[in-house]
């Protein structure tokens, strides 16, 4: 008689085996040479989850569940505390992601050194660099050692053993992609996922603060995002332009507070310095009295700041006119140019339109539409926008100017820095000390701009 037990066991094991894309984290029931989601080749890795446990702890009423300790401890870095809602929480795991060379290791080392200076033991595991390289960076940044310990192990088991021996209050891992786990494929999503799971268990069992650094894919996403983001408590994204010193730290996920907050840092010879007044930094080198420049009050996280939007309109160099955007959404700029042509009757078909924001800041919110549109029109019409004016409002496809959120906070920030006039949607309800130029449509904005002084040919 045929024994079905081995066959049944094989089928149960086969059902538990998954195949996961190392680029985008998409699961698959079978191996394939190409990922069906992101289209990458040779990126599917086998992942075998642990044994199935059908029974867990007994359920209990919600009222009887003890509350966990979610009190945060300040990191000593003001902008980081702003993003985290006060600081790091014991027993939490924070994933810090960003492009190579953006400053992730520098920020992590500053966090570790600041914590170690408070007589808290910190273990810094640098799996990508030697302890000598880390020590050299600390010396260049002027960071004191304190109770900071360095390790260069790439094995998760060895790291856990070091934690048991040293009993630190914080563990920093740079980076999670370089840690090895016995029984998993090198470079696979399963390995990174298993390493992160072990660190999460370590943090919960010992009440540690764990900070891990993660690399990003070529599309700017955390490597293996679907496999890592739901495992950790906090996900921070470190962004910025390598050609500028400004860096943005954004909270993408945070189980102990609100998300969406933004911290700003300035990258200098002594490391990352918090920027308390970003508006003043953006306005410091602004050129005045030239067309194509408009100041836009934007909201980054929960803080208002002023950003200069610039535009340049010139005769097209190719058969088709170009629309370029740096720091702005490419599609949004193309749409605004089309609205100017169709609704404002402004000739742009024979011109290239180049737009940018200064300082390396990226603006994605629709509230900047009116400012960008006025900057393009100013450059095309050779009209100078007053230096003390800010423009804010969303522009629709039919040419209407719509209201935006937090208008009072935006205008208060402009008034604080000495601006006296604001172009706003006509329907906006706001109380401010600024003189308001209310516009209902693109035609109103162009009409107001046409009444401005025409730039002389010499000045142009």
In a domain, 303, yes or no: yes
The model's pLDDT over 98-129, given as tens digits with 9 standing for 90+, comes to: 888 899 999 999 999 999 998 899 999 998 88
Integer angstrom CA distances of residue 301 from 165, 248, 259, 263, 442? 40, 11, 8, 8, 28
Domain count, the chain: 3
Q: Is the pLDDT of residue 54 over 80?
A: no
Q: What is the dihedral of CA 309, 326, 258, 102, to 10 degrees?
A: -130
- Residue ranges of alpha helices (H) inside 142-188 are 156-166
The model's pLDDT over 335-366, given as tens digits with 9 standing for 90+, comes to: 999 999 999 999 999 999 999 998 888 999 99
Q: Distance between CA atoms of 375 and 380, rounded to whole angstroms?
A: 9
**Tokens (6 digits) for 415:** 């008034």
Q: Is the pLDDT of residue 47 over 70?
A: no
246/304 same-domain check: no
**Tokens (6 digits) for 396:** 């629709």
The H or E element containing residue 111 is helix 104-116
Res 419: pLDDT:
96
89/184 same-domain check: yes
pTM attached to this predicted model:
0.80
Q: Distance between CA atoms of 302 and 312, rounded to whole angstroms?
A: 31
**Tokens (6 digits) for 391:** 């423009």
Sheet hosting strand 27-28, strand order edge to edge: 27-28, 18-21, 44-47
Pairing type for strands 262-268 and 401-402 reads unpaired
Of 246, 275, 304, the one marking the end of a domain is 275
The CA-CA-CA angle for residues 314, 315, 316, to 5°, reads: 110
Q: Hey, how many other C-beta atoms are within 10 angstroms of the C-beta on 100?
A: 10
164/226 same-domain check: yes
Longest dimension (CA), the chain: 101
In a domain, 55, yes or no: no
Of 255, 275, 295, the one marking the end of a domain is 275
Asked whether the beta carbons of 227 and 43 are under 8 A apart, the reply is no
Q: Is the pLDDT of residue 44 over 80?
A: no
In a domain, 2, yes or no: no
Asked whether the beta carbons of 174 and 194 are under 8 A apart, the reply is no
- Mean pLDDT of the 430-453 span: 92
Q: Distance between CA atoms of 236 and 142, rounded to whole angstroms?
A: 25
Q: Distance between CA atoms of 261 and 106, rounded to whole angstroms?
A: 21
In a domain, 98, yes or no: yes
164/218 same-domain check: yes
210-237 b/e with 16+ CB inside 10 Å = b?
A: bbbbbbbbeeebbbbbbbbbeebbbbbb
- The CATH number for 329's domain is 3.30.230.10
Res 360: pLDDT:
82
157/235 same-domain check: yes
Res 37: pLDDT:
76
Res 144: pLDDT:
82
Report phi then psi at 262, rounded to 5. Answer: -130, 135
In a domain, 403, yes or no: yes
Sheet hosting strand 421-425, strand order edge to edge: 323-326, 351-357, 303-315, 293-300, 389-391, 421-425, 435-439
- Mean pLDDT of the 363-379 span: 96
In a domain, 459, yes or no: no
Report phi then psi at 245, rounded to 5. Answer: -85, -10
246/312 same-domain check: no
Categorize the per-residue pLDDT at 3 as very low, low, confident or very high, splitting at 50, 70 and 90. low
349/213 same-domain check: no
């Amino acid at each position: 008689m045929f024994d079905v037990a081995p066959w049944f066991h094989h089928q149960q094991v086969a059902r538990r085996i998954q195949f996961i894309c190392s680029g985008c984290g998409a699961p698959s029931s079978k191996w394939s040479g190409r990922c069906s989601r992101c289209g990458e080749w040779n990126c599917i890795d086998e992942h075998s989850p642990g044994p199935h446990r059908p029974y867990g702890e007994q359920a209990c009423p919600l009222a009887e569940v003890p509350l966990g300790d979610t009190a945060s401890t300040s990191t000593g870095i003001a902008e980081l505390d702003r993003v985290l809602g006060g600081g790091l929480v014991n027993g939490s795991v924070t994933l810090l992601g960003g492009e190579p060379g953006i400053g992730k290791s520098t920020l992590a080392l500053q966090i570790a050194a600041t914590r170690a200076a408070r007589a808290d033991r910190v273990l810094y595991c640098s799996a990508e660099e030697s302890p000598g390289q880390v020590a050299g960076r600390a010396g260049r940044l002027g960071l004191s050692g304190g109770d900071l310990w360095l390790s260069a192990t790439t094995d998760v088991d060895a790291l856990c053993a070091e934690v048991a021996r040293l009993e630190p209050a914080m563990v920093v891992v740079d980076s999670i992609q370089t840690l090895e786990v016995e029984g998993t494929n090198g470079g696979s999503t399963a390995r990174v996922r298993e390493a992160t799971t072990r660190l999460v268990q370590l943090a919960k069992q010992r009440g540690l603060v764990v900070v891990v650094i993660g690399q990003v894919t070529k599309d700017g996403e955390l490597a293996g995002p679907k496999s890592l983001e739901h495992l950790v408590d906090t996900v921070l994204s470190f962004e910025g332009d390598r050609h500028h010193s400004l860096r943005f730290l954004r909270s993408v996920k945070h189980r102990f507070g609100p998300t969406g907050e933004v911290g700003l840092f300035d990258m200098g010879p002594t490391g990352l310095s918090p920027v308390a007044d970003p508006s003043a930094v953006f306005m410091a080198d602004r050129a005045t009295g030239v067309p194509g420049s408009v100041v836009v009050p934007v909201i980054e996280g929960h803080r208002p700041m002023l950003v200069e939007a610039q535009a340049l309109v010139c005769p097209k160099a190719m058969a088709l006119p170009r629309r370029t955007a740096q720091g702005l959404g490419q599609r949004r700029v193309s749409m605004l140019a089309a609205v100017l042509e169709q609704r404002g009757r402004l000739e742009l078909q024979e011109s290239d339109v180049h737009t940018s924001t200064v300082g390396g800041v990226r603006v994605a919110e629709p509230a900047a539409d009116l400012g960008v549109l006025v900057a393009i029109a100013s450059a095309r019409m050779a009209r100078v926008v007053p230096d003390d004016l800010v423009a804010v409002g969303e522009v629709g496809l039919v040419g209407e100017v719509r209201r935006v959120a937090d208008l009072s906070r935006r205008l208060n920030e402009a008034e604080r820095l000495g601006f006296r006039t604001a172009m706003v949607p006509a329907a906006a309800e706001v109380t401010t000390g600024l003189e308001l130029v209310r516009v209902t449509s693109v035609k109103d904005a162009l009409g107001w701009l046409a009444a401005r002084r025409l730039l002389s040919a010499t000045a142009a």
